[in-house]
Structure 1
Amino acid sequence: MAVGMAKGGLSMVGMTAVPLMSLTMSPVLAAGIMLPVYVVSDMGGLIAFRRSFDWRVMRTLLPGAIAGIGLGWATAHLVNDAAIMLIVGLIGLSFALNALIRPRVSGRKTPRWGAGSFWGAVSGYTSFVSHSGAPPYQVYVQPLRLSSRAYAGTTTFFFAIVNLAKLVPYAALGQINPGNLRISALLCIPGLIGVVLGVRLLRIIPQELFYKLISWMLLMISIRLIWVGAASFAF
């Protein structure tokens, strides 16, 4: 439902999906189950925003993002569940704190290859590890001050490409298999319900208040993951 709500307009809510699942299962398993749900959910966004994206921003981000995905694939065997749990927790914690205390961005910047490549690589890596590519992506794109529709469209197209690119390495690592796909297919149902719910919540709840509530939720989940991950290393 969190992924569906993200595709329904509440983009930050999707950040809670893998951390929340990681409380009860391996974060690697959680990421593998959720990837097909992301890919299916992306389809509606691609149709809705097919003419509303900024290609200049995409060009600066995508090369680095593909490199970041490759780095995640190449180093996957070096980290265990506890390490990934810590990474997921730290990513979530940094994003939640950033959302809660960072001042509003003023002024407007232009797309740059250096910054775009760096944040694209970080976004690609964190997206590969836990589908948490949104925080570094937003650090780069928010100061560009795109129109709301161009921002939504650029975000949709960027992560649709990133998610498709992750399918091959995920399959090679065994994270996409018949067992996972059966669960993913079932999760597409609440995902679709989440899309409808996200659209309706945007009309009812002030967006700023909703994002604060989600940020606090993500903060608490992330602290729990960091605690459990650190305890696993300690023992």
Structure 2
Amino acid sequence: MGISKSGFGAGFGALAVPLMALAVPVPQAAAVMLPLLAIMDGFGLKALWREFDRPLLKLLLPAGLLGTLIGTLSFGLLQPKTVAGIVGAITLVFLAIRTFFPPRADAPPPPRALGVMAATVSGFTSFVAHAGGPPIGFYLLPLKLTPIRFTATLAVFFAAINTSKWIPYAALGLIDGTNMLTSLVLAPLAPIGVWVGVRLVRVIPQALFYRLFSVGMLLTGLKLLWDGLR
């Protein structure tokens, strides 16, 4: 997750909670990850703050916060594995379309309404299982941003989304001593991942960056779909 927070291999980040869920329930895994995300967001913002796309963030962030509100109100109505399965299936369909029907070089950017929809879904899935990367990637990938601008925009977007989760998580009883102690034990690993990722994203060629992002989304989609079906 730390490496993905830097934007390098960002598609891999959604694997964190499903992998942790092999050992503990999904809500507990999400709660353990929240303080770690705060640490990662801080390091990511420090390194990338000047690079994000302001007009794009103005479009996406309000919709993302709406998604976290929907996640708060619907918490407990949908099983986390159901959400995981839906996100996984959508991710795989999106990748299949891009692989077998790639957009033309002169194709116009996707409509802004798609960005609002993707950001809302991203906020919701981020609240439930910190799996917001694949939905927002649907909209950002066709924009062909430079790796550093792509990375910085995602860093600011998810820093705001993750900050908005603290009060709802506490109200839902997910912030407790056991989860926070587990977060404390894992905390030293968070800045290491971000540091490695930031160094890589500044030097990696754009074509390779997007290939790695797609591979990350593929693995994430397969894992989430498996979690939803098993």
> TM bucket by the smaller chain?
0.7 to 0.9
Matched, 1:95 2:91: yes
Which consecutive residues of structure 2, in runs of 5 or more, have no partner in the other structure? none
Aligned to 2:139: 140
What aligned pairs does 1:177-196 form with structure 2 within 5 A after superposition? 177-196=176-195
TM-score w.r.t. the length of structure 2 is: 0.83
Letter in 2 for 1:73: T
TM-score w.r.t. the length of structure 1 is: 0.81
Assess if the C-alpha contact under 8 Å between 2:43 and 2:191 holds in 1: no
Aligned to 1:233: none
Partner secondary structure for residue 50 of structure 1: helix
Task: Check 1:165–1:50 CA distance in 2 against 1; reply closer, same or farther (3 A cut).
Answer: same
Which consecutive residues of structure 1, in runs of 5 or more, have no partner in the other structure? 229-235
The structural deviation recorded for 1:199 is: 5.6
Aligned to 1:14: 13
Task: Check 1:51–1:108 CA distance in 2 against 1; reply closer, same or farther (3 A cut).
Answer: farther
The structural deviation recorded for 1:198 is: 4.0
What aligned pairs does 1:197-212 form with structure 2 within 5 A after superposition? 197-198=196-197, 207=209, 210-211=212-213
Aligned to 2:228: 226
Aligned equivalents of 1:25 and 1:224: distance in 2? Answer: 17
Task: Check 1:220–1:24 CA distance in 2 against 1; reply closer, same or farther (3 A cut).
Answer: farther
Aligned equivalents of 2:130 and 2:161: distance in 1? Answer: 10
Q: What fraction of aligned residue pairs are identical, expressed as a percent? A: 33
Assess if the C-alpha contact under 8 Å between 1:56 and 1:111 holds in 2: no
Task: Check 1:97–1:185 CA distance in 2 against 1; reply closer, same or farther (3 A cut).
Answer: farther
> What is the aligned length?
222
Partner secondary structure for residue 145 of structure 2: coil
* Deviation digits for residues 147-192 of structure 1 (CA, Å, limit 9, x no counterpart): 2222111111011101101111111111122221111122222223
Task: Check 1:184–1:71 CA distance in 2 against 1; reply closer, same or farther (3 A cut).
Answer: same
Aligned equivalents of 1:22 and 1:64: distance in 2? Answer: 28
What aligned pairs does 1:1-235 form with structure 2 within 5 A after superposition? 3-8=1-6, 9-79=8-78, 83-96=79-92, 98-99=94-95, 102-103=98-99, 104-105=102-103, 106=105, 107-109=107-109, 112=112, 114-198=113-197, 207=209, 210-211=212-213, 214-215=216-217, 217-228=219-230
Assess if the C-alpha contact under 8 Å between 2:32 and 2:183 holds in 1: yes
The structural deviation recorded for 1:12 is: 1.2
